[in-house]
């Protein structure tokens, strides 16, 4: 009899941040600072009160009838048929607020998600005070989170919250360069024309999130034409990626935004355990250089990237063209 296969550990882990910090601390151009606390108001401008209440209390409500500690609440009834109101019992609420099983909730999840938002808003705020570029070291990531849902390791949409916050001062563009489609960000701004959203990603016909990220999705209502997806094939290399990135940057330039938010995922890396692209470390430097050429005040927010050993150096390669 074959030995049972060992379960894979959860891949969105704290050492992702440790890897990046260890590298950035050695860079003379990097100035690290703690995020400010912006409260719940900016979050509630994007996410519903019911959803935020669920996210804050689900673990504790679920844990109440049991005695085991130190374990996470795992959704097991994901669904998309939203009713007028969520169910009262916790085991069924996950089917209302969660789109998949990749969003475990433990006693610190809500606090961590709020901290990630504060990193994103601190990054955005620095642009208002004259910085040309800032990097929000956000964890957990956010671009799969919609106004009332979480999924794909994402609980609160850091990019959407910071972009909406900046939109009070002028037009904002969001460029998502994560391996997976930014479906949550797309849904939040799908009917708006003051925030342009663009996502380059693996084709959802064969990759997560499956149900969103196709080329025909261009916005609706007054938002028609203000969203663009670039679904890319397996093994996409820097040559092909750069070609479509140039198209995306032309759209951003024509939009003339006052600010740019970049959802920066590094799971496009050639050895990433969740990706199937062929972007090298030099490729990340080229991508960073292309985006920096827009010369727009830019807030860069961490999304995916799960090759822990290489993650810090990949991030540094991407950031350097904005600085040097």
Tens-digit pLDDT string for the chain (324 aa): 334 445 456 799 999 999 999 999 999 999 999 999 999 999 999 999 999 998 998 888 777 655 555 666 666 555 444 555 555 555 556 667 888 888 888 889 999 999 999 999 999 999 999 999 999 999 999 999 999 999 999 999 999 999 999 999 999 999 999 999 999 999 999 999 999 999 999 999 999 999 899 999 999 999 999 999 999 999 999 999 999 999 999 999 999 999 999 999 999 999 999 999 999 999 999 999 999 999 999 999 999 999 999 999 999 999 999 997
- Answer yes or no: is 256 within a domain: yes
Question: Is 74 a domain residue?
Answer: no
Q: What is the pLDDT of residue 4?
A: 43
| Confidence (pLDDT) at 72 | 65
> Does a structural domain hold residue 82?
no
Rounded distance, CA 40 to CA 69, Å? Answer: 28
183 alpha carbon, distance to own chain's centre: 10
Using CA atoms, how far apart are residues 9 and 59, in angstroms rounded to an integer? 20
Report residue 10 as tokens. 């959860």
Q: In what order do the strands lie in the sheet with 259-264?
A: 133-136, 298-302, 259-264, 172-176, 195-202, 227-232
Q: E strands of the chain, at which residues?
A: 133-136, 172-176, 195-202, 227-232, 259-264, 298-302
Tell me which residue range forms the domain holding 251: 15-36+106-323
Is 156 inside any structural domain? Answer: yes
Tell me which residue of 110, 124, 163, 146 sits closest to 35, measured CA to CA.
Answer: 124
pLDDT recorded at residue 75: 61
Domains identified in the chain, total number? 1
Report the half-sphere exposure of 255 (CA within 13 A, side-chain side): 29
Question: How many CB atoms neighbour CB 278 within 10 A?
Answer: 18
Q: Note the pLDDT of residue 324.
A: 79
59 in any annotated domain: no
Residues carrying an active site annotation: 144
**What is the predicted pLDDT for the residue at 140?**
97
Kindly state whether residue 78 falls inside one of the protein's structural domains: no
What's the distance, CA 320 to chain centroid?
A: 21
Instruction: Tell me the CATH number at 115.
Output: 3.40.800.20
Domain presence at residue 69:
no
| Residue 267 domain-assigned (yes or no) | yes
């Amino acid at each position: 009899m074959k030995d049972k296969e060992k379960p894979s550990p959860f891949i969105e882990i704290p050492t992702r941040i440790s890897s990046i910090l260890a590298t950035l601390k050695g860079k003379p151009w990097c100035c690290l600072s703690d995020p400010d606390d912006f409260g719940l108001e900016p979050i509630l401008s994007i996410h519903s009160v019911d959803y935020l209440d669920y996210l804050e209390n689900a673990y504790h409500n679920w844990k109440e009838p049991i005695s085991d500690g130190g374990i996470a609440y795992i959704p097991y009834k994901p669904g998309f048929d939203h009713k007028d109101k969520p169910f009262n019992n916790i085991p069924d609420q996950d089917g209302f607020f969660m789109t998949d099983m990749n969003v475990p909730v433990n006693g610190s999840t809500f606090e961590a998600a709020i901290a990630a938002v504060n990193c994103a808003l601190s990054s955005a705020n620095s642009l208002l005070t004259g910085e040309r570029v800032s990097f929000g070291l956000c964890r957990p990531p956010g671009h799969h989170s919609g106004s009332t849902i979480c999924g794909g390791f994402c609980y609160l949409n850091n990019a959407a919250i910071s972009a909406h916050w900046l939109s009070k001062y002028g037009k904002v563009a969001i460029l998502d360069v994560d391996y997976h489609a930014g479906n949550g960000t797309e849904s939040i701004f799908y009917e708006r024309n003051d925030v342009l959203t663009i996502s380059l990603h693996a084709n959802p016909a064969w990759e997560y999130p499956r149900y969103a990220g196709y080329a025909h999705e261009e916005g609706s209502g007054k938002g028609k034409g203000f969203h663009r997806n670039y679904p890319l094939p397996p093994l996409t290399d820097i040559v092909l990626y750069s070609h479509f990135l140039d198209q995306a940057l032309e759209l951003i330039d024509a939009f003339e935004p006052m600010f740019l938010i970049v959802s920066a995922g590094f799971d496009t890396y050639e050895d990433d355990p969740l990706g199937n692209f062929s972007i090298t470390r030099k490729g990340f430097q080229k991508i960073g250089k292309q985006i920096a050429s827009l010369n727009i005040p830019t807030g860069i927010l961490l999304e995916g990237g799960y090759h822990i050993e290489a993650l810090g150096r990949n991030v540094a390669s991407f950031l350097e063209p904005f600085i040097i």
